[in-house]
Structure 1
């Protein structure tokens, strides 16, 4: 049998070599046919297959007539696969190999898109400016002009424009765009004569650019059009270990900024206090000033110090990680600048002061919300808890326990486990013992405060798992999703009945694993900060529009970034332009229908009290409240 298996593996190896050899021979015999097949694979979104074939043609060397075409398509395939550094290398090799290739314009445009995705905004602007001035394709020039203008207006500061743009990429149209931005900046600072001088000097030297009419219009525009924008500081981990989450948050914020006019109506309908606020002003200029924390607390603090040292910053959004969020929140509080923490769920962050707002419910609040649902909607009165012995488990358990007590319920027993534990029999036996002790107390009609368990507990019943535990109405397991695989089956083995309550990490069980664990976790109820029904009309429309505009499918951090930016910008649009006004507007938010779920700060110590209650049913997650 082993010999047969080895022969089989050898045969497949020979087959692979034969196929590879055949393809190589085909490439040598008819490179045009090979190129066409690679293009077909690309058009069918088989990017890996396309890349493999383009690589073979490129390996033939620059003497091949399809060399530059294949280099370009090699770069495009790598771009589609998200391999941006290799794509950049391919496009640059094309530019070096043939500066007159018909693909040069598209290579510069692609390099601009890569730089933008990597948050290198100055380099992206430089590439788009090159296309704007030197590309031969009018449609590509128009696209590049729009992107360059967006980068100039929304992502780059005047000093960036002066110092970071590639000078050798600037033609007269790029210079015209630069003149517009610099002149507007002078006007906004009240230096109209300086702005006028920039416009006049440029028009004298370059009277016939595609932006000439726009420059002429600047000279006669009223001063109020150039009011300084309201500037919101954003601190996110755009590089380092948390870069993926940080970039998704940033992407969601950019989408909110790009669509904010259509979103502003939601704010009036979402806040019970909105009548006290001025009408929305869609014309107010809002700028997001983004800084990279580099996924470190020190980086976050340095970013906060820079932003808080700028008197034009009226509010802050950030960070991602709990410790970094707490650190920058303390600095913002000290400066009297409102800060909206978009992700963190740790307890105590808003205790730093009245300028700190937490967009996700903290752990204690989620525990409370789950207890309220279990008592009021599931008729649970007796609870047991089993949690990790760490800050997360303690805070979730404390929240649920406090709410159960206040609602007249009873915590029968609490058990804990340490990281690395694999056998949880001792804890589950303890839960069974407490439950049967409770049954015995009921039978003897003894009050829980008066009875003594010593000598009464029946060891045989505790050990005999065939006898179900029914006197505990709900078991709370605020577990990490990776621990559920071990603990949920043991809960079933020890025959502990009643409602299964989970923690917020239950939402992130992989779908395949959820199917495997279905016999043990089906029906479980748990709290969450985030839930979007992508099958609803609102969910479908959001996802379609987001994909179209941002080129990515929204995930939870995209949605949280979107909601955070919307909240802050809509406070500004409704007349809150000073830090104290923004703080007051945020404090009055009550029932805002965020994409991730309801957001309410009013009467909740500035922690969002909106919690989604979810349930696992048939290996799917549904919102039940």
Structure 2
């Protein structure tokens, strides 16, 4: 079955489960019951969400949104589930969760959170007028001061950056709150100013103040009356937006240390060059904050480029604002497919998931000579992105994916998936053998032949189980490689069960397999030995060049450089190298970034693909006696 169809079926099933709540409302009034175990599951989901493990959080919330969903935490679970699905890029399911909250609990204290969340969902769908309405409602009517502030920030971004003059006029007619109306009037006036019709803008604002004298104190109105258009001065400025507080602060601080060290090395190399002003903003690990900050930085024409953020979801949102203003944005960490595809000014310094999966497929087919593959992956967006790209590349190269297997949640029990792989492999072996000796094989009943073969094998070997079940007795030999793009916490389960089910194939993995090197599970090393995986980064701590870099970095920054520091350093190496060429406009900066090829960084080489604007360099690595070794690759 087509992978996209599988994903669609999954989402359809979950949507039906949520929709079933609406159907039951027509016949019965829900009664909430206290279930003691729910609080612990909910709290664990919140912890996972706050730690950025959105897939794990989704699993927890779904545990308490099943048949017994009518519990004391239902309203808060629906809100958190919607927020989690939004982070994972599933706005349709996220909206369904919010609609169930509004349907069943229209007077819930989470109503204002629901309206705010709907604003984000509509923003992601490019429904900007509807999004602005939700944020404006939050601005005027939310009880939470924080939510009112965030609503106002979001509303300004959507209205100023995404709405046309006609859309703003329509929004003005549909806005009830005084603060929201002042915001809309201000945006409409600014549109007139930008068109050169300043008189119309001033008249609009004055008429509004006459009818609403208190509006004169509005920040938005004051900005219109006193605002001046900034003009470029010719200085080079770099904007940096990273999470320096909040749940992703450790990653953000690591990236920033790397960027600062790259700036120091740039100054040492070009002591006579004009100073580059670096403006740093803390996104607080918050998508709304980061959008507001890039909007602020964009308004300064001397900002030639922005670096940010850490999380894929937040980076994509920032990229939308940056692209709308022609501002180059370089993402130092983001690996999701499609972020650079937002527009020609967006770049990913890291190879995305598709690039990594395709590179591994090419290595397996071209360098290792493998022709037959199986895959096992999580049934979610990440798993499908990886398997789709890998499978397409294998097909393109003329090799074959024999079967694809999927799992939900934590893969503690994969017996069904691996038994299916064993059966498919043995059936294929039998078919290949019989085709060579039976000319009329195509006319025979395959299922009957399979049953007779199993009976023969069991009788011949005095076995009580068939060839599929007898994994300790019969090894699968006709699968060349098994691709497992799984999460780091899933590696132990997958690798152990793969070994148990006796499939003699090369293990291929994703970057998450790096986790196995630092795992405290000593048995895991034997399961993953010789496994090959693709990674966006690699450094050999024993090489002299890296030891010198590490020591100098420690001396300058006070910490030992790890993955995030290296990603930040390489991104800084790219950007400060571009600035050293004297670029003084955003378009010139964008063109120079496009020309980056073969730039040797500390985590690997940076090759910006001229079509995708993604770093196309991928490291092919292998576990060898619990050490990670880089394999020679013709693509390097």
- TM-score (norm. length: structure 2): 0.58
Q: Which residue does 2:421 correspond to in 1? A: 431
**Rounded Cα–Cα distance in structure 2 between residues aligned with 1:527 and 1:451:** 43
CA contact (8 A) 1:345 1:363 kept: yes
**Rounded Cα–Cα distance in structure 2 between residues aligned with 1:368 and 1:520:** 24
How much does 1:547 deviate? 0.2
**Rounded Cα–Cα distance in structure 1 between residues aligned with 2:444 and 2:326:** 55
- Does residue 363 of structure 2 align to residue 356 of structure 1? no
Q: Which has the larger radius of gyration?
A: 1
- Does residue 325 of structure 2 align to residue 318 of structure 1? no
Q: Which residue does 2:584 correspond to in 1? A: 577
Q: Which residue does 1:380 correspond to in 2? A: 370
How much does 1:355 deviate? 0.4
- Does residue 256 of structure 2 align to residue 250 of structure 1? yes
**Rounded Cα–Cα distance in structure 1 between residues aligned with 2:366 and 2:414:** 30
Q: Which residue does 1:152 correspond to in 2? A: none
CA contact (8 A) 2:410 2:490 kept: no
Q: Which residue does 1:183 correspond to in 2? A: none
Describe the shift of the 1:420–1:289 C-alpha distance in structure 2 as closer, same or farther (beyond 3 A). Answer: same
Instruction: Deviation per CA, 1:511-566: give whole Å up to 9, x if none.
Output: 35364212211000001111111211210111000000000000110111111111
CA contact (8 A) 2:599 2:605 kept: yes
Describe the shift of the 1:452–1:542 C-alpha distance in structure 2 as closer, same or farther (beyond 3 A). Answer: farther
Partner secondary structure for residue 330 of structure 2 = strand
Describe the shift of the 1:404–1:450 C-alpha distance in structure 2 as closer, same or farther (beyond 3 A). Answer: farther
CA contact (8 A) 1:282 1:573 kept: no
Partner secondary structure for residue 240 of structure 2 = strand
Describe the shift of the 1:340–1:451 C-alpha distance in structure 2 as closer, same or farther (beyond 3 A). Answer: farther
Q: Which residue does 1:481 correspond to in 2? A: 488
Matches within 5 A, 1:176-187: none
CA contact (8 A) 1:263 1:566 kept: no
Matches within 5 A, 1:55-66: none
Q: Which runs of 5+ in 1 are unaligned?
A: 1-226, 265-280
CA contact (8 A) 1:488 1:520 kept: yes
Q: Which residue does 2:226 correspond to in 1? A: none
CA contact (8 A) 2:243 2:282 kept: yes
Q: Which residue does 1:370 correspond to in 2? A: 360
Describe the shift of the 1:455–1:578 C-alpha distance in structure 2 as closer, same or farther (beyond 3 A). Answer: farther
- TM-score (norm. length: structure 1): 0.59
Partner secondary structure for residue 444 of structure 1 = helix
**Rounded Cα–Cα distance in structure 1 between residues aligned with 2:560 and 2:514:** 19
CA contact (8 A) 2:411 2:490 kept: no
How much does 1:457 deviate? 3.6
RMSD (CA atoms): 2.1
Instruction: Deviation per CA, 1:12-67: give whole Å up to 9, x if none.
Output: xxxxxxxxxxxxxxxxxxxxxxxxxxxxxxxxxxxxxxxxxxxxxxxxxxxxxxxx
Runs of 4+ with deviation above 6 angstroms: 446-452
Describe the shift of the 1:312–1:477 C-alpha distance in structure 2 as closer, same or farther (beyond 3 A). Answer: same
Q: Which residue does 2:67 correspond to in 1? A: none
How much does 1:441 deviate? 2.0
Instruction: Deviation per CA, 1:92-149: give whole Å up to 9, x if none.
Output: xxxxxxxxxxxxxxxxxxxxxxxxxxxxxxxxxxxxxxxxxxxxxxxxxxxxxxxxxx
Describe the shift of the 1:547–1:435 C-alpha distance in structure 2 as closer, same or farther (beyond 3 A). Answer: same
Describe the shift of the 1:337–1:435 C-alpha distance in structure 2 as closer, same or farther (beyond 3 A). Answer: same
CA contact (8 A) 2:516 2:524 kept: no
Partner secondary structure for residue 520 of structure 2 = helix
Q: Which residue does 1:518 correspond to in 2? A: 525
Matches within 5 A, 1:596-611: 596-611=603-618
Matches within 5 A, 1:6-25: none
Match of 2:242 among 229, 236, 239: 236
CA contact (8 A) 1:502 1:525 kept: yes
Instruction: Deviation per CA, 1:388-427: give whole Å up to 9, x if none.
Output: 1111111111111111111110000000000134210000
- Name the stretch that deviates more: 466-475 or 415-424: 415-424
Matches within 5 A, 1:111-510: 229-261=235-267, 283-445=273-435, 454-457=447-450, 460-465=466-471, 466-510=473-517
Q: Which residue does 2:172 correspond to in 1? A: none
